Amino acid sequence: MGESGFVHTFLPGRVVFGAGTLDQVAGEVELLGVRRVLLVATRSARDAADVVEVELGDRFAGRIDGVAQHVPTEVAEAARDKAREIGADGIVAIGGGSAIGLAKAVALTTGPASDPTGRAVGGLTSGAAGGASGGVVIVAVPTTYAGSEMTPVWGETAGGSKTTGTDLRVLPRVVVYDPVLSQHLPKKVTAASVANAIAHCVEAVWTPRADPITETTAVEGLRALTVGLKQILADPTDLDARSNLLYGACLGGSALATAGTGLHHKLCHLLGGTYNLPHAETHAAVLPQVAHFNAPAVPRAKARLEEALQTDELAGGLFDLFAAAGVPTSLRELGLSREQAEEAARAFQPTANPIPVTEELVEEILTRAWAGTRPGSPEPGSREV
C-alpha cells in the first residue's frame, strides 16, 4: 500500500457545513430539482423538521415521524408505501443513523442499482417516482455522529437477522451539517454516537480496500472526534465541540464509505441484528477488542491513529476514552448473555482481515467484549499479541 500504488474511488456528494445551515435545506432541495419531498425525522428532531416542512413550501408532500434502529423490514415497507403513495422523488432525512437508514431503505428500491464505483448493475426497479438520477434522492441532515450520511451502505433487519449492502442509490446527494441541531444532545447519547464514528475511522485503515487517502481521512477524523469528545465532557453545549464532532463524523463516514467494512462492523451488525443490541454502544464494547488484535498488523496506521487519539496504545486508549465518557465497554452491560456471545462467535462467517479470522479469534474478541476486559489485561488462557 502507499507508494507502491493503490486505487481510490471518490464518491459523489455535496456537504453544506456550519451553524444555521438548517435554513439552507429547502434551497438544496430546489437545486436538486426535487418536486415532491417525503420528510423523515426522528422524534427528537421534530422541531427541526417543522422548520424544514414550512420552508419546503409546495415541495413538501408527506412526513414520517419516528423511526426504529436497525431498520426493521416492516418499517421500511411502510415508508416505501408512503413514498409511492405521495409520488416522492426526494427525501429529507433529519436525525441520527436510524432516520437516514430509513431514507436509504426507500431509495434502495428506486432507480438503477449501482456498485460503489458508480457503474450501473441492474435495471429500474419498482418504487416511487424518480428524481434527477432516475430514483429517489436523499438530502441528509444528521443530528448525531453516526456518519452513515456519507456512505452508500444500507441495512435492514428481518426475523432477527440484519442484511447489509452497498449501493450508490442510497448515498445522500447532499448532507447538511448544522452543529446547532446537536448542541443539546445528552452527553450519554453523544458519547455513544461518537464511539460509532470512531469505529468508522479505525476500521477504515485495515479493510482490504483501505488506501493512503482513506487512512489520512480516518486519522484526521479520529483527531477531530477525540478533541470534540473531550470538549463535550467539559461543556456539553460547546458549539465548537459539536462542530468538531460533526466534522469528525463526516470524515469517518467518508473514509469507511470508500474503504468498506470489515471484521469489527460485521461483528456489530451480527450482534445488533440478532440480539437487538443498541448500535452505537455495541461499537464501544467491541472496537477496542478488535483493535487489540488487528492494529499490530497495520503498524503505520496504528501509530498515526495513536497520535490522533493522544495515546501510546490504540486499543487501550480507545477503551479508556469510552470509559471516561461513560459509554458501556462491555456487552454484558448491554444485556447480552455469555451464552449469546458464544453463540454469535459460532455463527460468525469469516471475512477478509489483516490477520486470519478463526472461530477462536472471534470467540476471544467477543468473550473479552462481553466481560469488558481492558485490552492489555490478559485473561487466563487468552492469546495476546
Q: Are the C-beta atoms of residues 128 and 88 closer than 8 Å to each other?
A: yes
Instruction: Tell me the pLDDT tens digit for each residue of 134-173.
Output: 689 999 999 999 899 999 999 898 887 888 889 999 999 9
Instruction: Tell me the pLDDT tens digit for each residue of 212-222.
Output: 999 999 999 99
Cell numbers 448473555 label which residue?
A: 337
**What is the residue range of 73's domain?**
9-182
Residues 303 and 317 in one domain: yes
pLDDT at 133 over 70: no
Residues 149 and 206 in one domain: no
Residues 203 and 174 in one domain: no
CA–CA distance, 297 with 303 (Å, rounded to integer):
11
Q: How many domains does the chain have?
A: 2
Calculate mean pLDDT across residues 241-256: 98
Residues 176 and 226 in one domain: no
Q: Which pLDDT does position 378 carry in this prediction?
A: 62
Q: Which pLDDT does position 127 carry in this prediction?
A: 33
Please say which residue of 148, 182, 216 terminates a domain. 182
CA–CA distance, 308 with 324 (Å, rounded to integer):
17
Residue 3 burial class via C-beta count within 10 angstroms: exposed 0-12, middle 13-18, buried 19 and up: exposed
Q: What dihedral do alpha carbons 243, 249, 254, 256 form, nearest 10°?
A: 170
Q: Are the C-beta atoms of residues 262 and 290 closer than 8 Å to each other?
A: no
Among 127, 136, 107, which Cα is nearest to 35's?
136
Residues 174 and 267 in one domain: no
333 part of a folded domain: yes
pLDDT at 57 over 70: yes
pTM for this entry: 0.90
Instruction: Tell me the pLDDT tens digit for each residue of 61-106.
Output: 999 997 888 899 999 999 999 999 999 999 999 999 899 999 999 9
Calculate mean pLDDT across residues 335-361: 95
pLDDT at 175 over 80: yes
Residues 275 and 351 in one domain: yes
Q: Which pLDDT does position 46 carry in this prediction?
A: 95
